[in-house]
Amino acid sequence: MLMDVVEIQKILPHRYPFLLVDRVTDLTPKESIIAYKNVSISEPVFEGHFPGHPIYPGVMILEGMAQAGGILAFKSMDGVTEEEIANKVVYFMSIDKAKFRSPVKPGDQLEYRLSVIKNKGAIWLLKGEAYVDGKLTSEAELKAMIVDK
């Protein structure tokens, strides 16, 4: 394991119940990341989505992709300290070509695979995919910018 949730919290400002990345197992700066989210029935979103038929919302899958993409972007910045990262945040500018191929349910483990399509300065264009048990469940293109808080 490359990063556990404690290391992730040093990079992302998100906290429970909105921290949606549990670990990172692979990261190649400026290229790609593989991260995981364990989906549990105890998550607050399942109270209303949907009672008696729990489905993890697509928007939460996209947010998890975005968070993994934020980790990739921050870890791709040359010569930046933890203190400097703490004073920056990733804003997502657009989500395009989003597709949801199969439902994600409690007990599933989401595997986020993101790769850099393009990077110019503070702007990142990423291809994101989410898998459960090796099966593609969701995909999207994410555009983001790193800014000062």
55-79 pLDDT, tens digit each: 999 999 999 999 999 999 999 998 8
Structural domain tally of the chain? 1
Q: What is the CATH number of the domain that holds 67?
A: 3.10.129.10
Give me the pLDDT at residue 33, please: 98
Active site residues: 49
Closest CA to 14 of 33, 30, 37, 34: 37
Structural domain of residue 109, as residue ranges? 5-148
pTM over 0.85: yes
